[in-house]
Structure 1
Amino acid sequence: MDSCKKTESNRQISVCAEDKLYVFFTPSIANVGGGQLYVNAKASWLEKNGWIVKIFYIAKGNIVLDGLKKYENGYLNALEFRFSSFSLKERESVLEQMLGDRINYDKIVVESYSYETALWGELLARKCKGKHICYLINEQHLPMTKSIKSFLNFKLQQNLLFGITPTNIPSILPDANPETTFLRAEGCSQFSAPDIDDNRMEKLPEDGFTILSIGRLEKPYMRNLADEICFFSSHLEVPVNYVMVGDTPDKDVKDSLMAILDKEPNLRVFFWGYTFPVPKRLYQRADVFVGCAGSAHSAYKERVPSITIDANDYQGIGILGETTENRLYRNSKEPCMPVSELLFNVYNTRVERRLRRQTLKPIVEEVDFSRHLAIIEAEFDNEYYPVETVKNKIWFDILYNSIKLIGGRSFLYKMKSLKQMFFPSR
């Protein structure tokens, strides 16, 4: 039945006669971040190669990426709650929501990004006799229960557990191989900055020293970064311009960051919010970038000196391509450095750096899903973890079930909505 012809290209698969379904479980398709860019690129790649794609997500919001707008109906409120808090009957009802009227496909692959969604992914794959890929894309991981650790070890033995850096999975499962568990999130930083007009550029001063950061404001390192930028600015005689690309649904987080930055008189803050794509002119105006992961790589490709931050301790790793090759975690030989120290380094060499940048062209990369394709097509043992054995802490179940008795699951949704209104999650 499979009339598919494999090509040698890493970026194409010939369309098959097979009926194939690929399901993503992701935190959100709203706004713009590394996760959204990756899912957008992979979903597009899959569709071009004959797959039917479904995306289920947890958090609502403004969907910025055009390629994700057609998946707006994939919001599933059940994903907001812990998997183990659902009864067997309730889980079956959620599966029916996911699949609709059809469960029979020639091939089904499920991809999940967190502990909780991975449990749903495993259950869905078992019901459909599909393959479940557990891909932990978060920069930091929550503490594990023994049952979650057992589940992840099971996925590791199946060669279906991956992280976004070589140290990602070994940091939670020390026996994991850094090379085989590393899977690059294609599409996060491969695109080139477009040469487009943005009226906000006219408001950016041409004098002073310009710092650029790109990312969600609720990232844990942002508060320390704000302190470091203020310290750096207070020691300069020229004004410092700080362009913040990114935002947060949590008003308290945003207000607290702005309160820190507003205290420094030599600092001029330009808040751009969620912006995609980031115009080439902004990269060209920036004297330095500060951040981590894909956004740091994007700035580096545009030849902006890029200071990377460790996601564990929020201190500087180094200058990408010069003193480090790491964008998320430092290695054991790299010292912990204050971000302000690295900012002074770039500032003191700014004239030479500007001259050198004039001779360099942006680095161009292509999205390459060949490793992802190999994982999809690899042999699978058709074994599934008994997710029913994964349990919550006893105290959590007592609290959860007590609230549920008051008014059922609909009451829980209302309680969660009120909590989010008055105490936004960070």
Structure 2
Amino acid sequence: MKYIIITYDITNMGGGQQYCRNKAEALKKKGYDVFIFSAVVGVVFIHELRQHEYGVIRELRYPAYCFTKGRVNDVLDHILQLVGVVDQSTIIESTSIAAAQWGELLARQIGCKHFLFNLQEVHSYSPTVISFLKFKLDRYELAGISSRSVKLMFKGFYDIQNSELYHFRAFCTNVISDTGSSIVDTLPIATYNIGSLGRLEKKFVYPTLLQLRGFIRSNPDKTFNILMIGGGANKIVKKIEHLFVNVENARLLITGYIYPVPRTLIGKMDVFFASAGSARVTMQEGIPTIAMGADTEKPIGILNYTTKNIFYGECEHSFTRLLQMILEEKYCLKHADLGLASKSGSTDFNFEVDRQLGFINQNRENRYYDVFSIKPESAGHKLYYFFGKMFGVKMLELVRSILHGFRLPQVRQSQPNP
């Protein structure tokens, strides 16, 4: 039995990478030969994913419509050459919208099932993409990371009443190890140690740091260590570093990507702020954690104390007020019974994988969407379409690097026909 995963990125470190690692390991124990294909060239931090570096194909970053049908067929043939013999028992899983278009084309060529597990937290899709997603949803071939995420995929187009049927947990919190860390020894003694875990580009990070800087300046009699466990582009790293240049009572340390994350490093912190699976990681280690919204710049609450949500929601308190509650008023110590964390182990994930396989096998008749009917509608995607068709992926990536950081005008979206 063969299982093919098409994902955006296995380099660096994030929830998507750890999910793919966990999914592949669980499937292998069930007798599957697992192949992972991705789009980004770079350093693979997770040991178990290094064996899949053969599967980096840069075209998979972009929708299939960005390339000629001849080039699309070349990519599909290359994947099949690497996978070897396939048949209707093969299963394809994709984790993003662009990857799903390639997954659908590959499934049609093989005659097998294709499951789209959309790991994205923030959703905004064109009408033609929505039509594709609705086709997959109706066939029980689409799921999200939460029932709210499924609803948000179709917001403004369809009201999904039974969204709880279409979500699975993307287990990705087993990133902590008991290995030592020299970073711990470099942290000076401070009144408070404040940490973050996750990618620095996330929407909430910079606005939250602005609030944190204000909080630190309002407490000149106290000292602070700010430890950011995660990486990002040089541009955002420099922007963050600049924030604290003239803050004399704070020391900022950005570690870059670390895998696995040393438990001693997590345990050194008095409070963390993070979103999604990263928030669950630090909460499970017993550190008070402010969960941040995936689609906003605002906090959801103190995880396991004032909220159970890690993706969506909004708190009545500001980020700085939550810091006061945790650091000064000792809210979590006073309500310790609320914060008892139940760690999710491998048994839970194996159960979730079984649920996914059962979900995928509900439909016995294989049908496929015409992904070439999906059209570019944003200004950026129209540029990708032109340069990809005319010059191929190398020129497309050059154009993307030039456009990166510029916000292009959005196309007004209309409702698709039901």
For 1:26 and 1:131, how far apart are their aligned partners in 2? 16
Secondary structure of the 2:148 match is: coil
- The letter of the residue matching 1:136 is N
Equivalent of 2:130, from 149, 155, 176?
149
Map of 1:394-409 to 2, 5 A cutoff?
399=383, 403=387, 408-409=391-392
Equivalent of 1:184, from 144, 166, 169?
169
Q: Which residue of 2 aligns with 1:175?
A: 159
1:54, CA displacement in angstroms? 1.3
- The letter of the residue matching 2:225 is N
1:379, CA displacement in angstroms? 3.4
Equivalent of 1:371, from 347, 355, 366?
355
Q: Which residue of 2 aligns with 1:383?
A: 367
Q: Percent same amino acid among aligned pairs?
A: 28
| 1:136–1:243 Cα change, 3 Å | same
The answer to whether the Cα contact below 8 Å between 2:107 and 2:114 also exists between their aligned partners in 1 is yes
For 1:401 and 1:295, how far apart are their aligned partners in 2? 35
1:251 maps onto 2:234 in alignment:
yes
| 1:402–1:140 Cα change, 3 Å | closer
Q: Which residue of 1 aligns with 2:87?
A: 105
For 1:228 and 1:397, how far apart are their aligned partners in 2? 34
1:355, CA displacement in angstroms? 11
1:324 maps onto 2:307 in alignment:
yes
Query: Bigger CA drift: 334-343 or 415-424?
Result: 415-424
1:79 maps onto 2:64 in alignment:
no
Secondary structure of the 1:59 match is: coil
Q: Which residue of 2 aligns with 1:210?
A: 193
Q: Which residue of 1 aligns with 2:9?
A: 28
Q: Which residue of 2 aligns with 1:225?
A: 208
Q: Structure 1: 5+ residue runs without aligned partners?
A: 1-19
Equivalent of 1:140, from 108, 122, 137?
122
Instruction: Let me know the Cα RMSD of the aligned residues.
Output: 2.7
For 2:52 and 2:206, how far apart are their aligned partners in 1? 33
| 1:286–1:398 Cα change, 3 Å | closer
1:301, CA displacement in angstroms? 0.8
| 1:208–1:23 Cα change, 3 Å | same
1:64, CA displacement in angstroms? 0.8
| 1:403–1:274 Cα change, 3 Å | closer
Q: Structure 2: 5+ residue runs without aligned partners?
A: 408-418
| 1:348–1:151 Cα change, 3 Å | same
Secondary structure of the 1:180 match is: helix
- The letter of the residue matching 2:226 is Y
For 1:218 and 1:297, how far apart are their aligned partners in 2? 19
For 1:388 and 1:351, how far apart are their aligned partners in 2? 54
Q: How many residues align?
A: 395
Q: Which residue of 1 aligns with 2:226?
A: 242
- The letter of the residue matching 1:133 is F
Query: Bigger CA drift: 302-311 or 280-289?
Result: 280-289
- TM-score, length basis structure 2: 0.87
1:86, CA displacement in angstroms? 2.4
Q: Which residue of 1 aligns with 2:23?
A: 42
Secondary structure of the 2:147 match is: coil
Q: Which residue of 1 aligns with 2:413?
A: none
1:92, CA displacement in angstroms? 1.5
Map of 1:332-347 to 2, 5 A cutoff?
334-347=314-327
- The letter of the residue matching 2:251 is R
| 1:280–1:80 Cα change, 3 Å | closer
- TM-score, length basis structure 1: 0.85
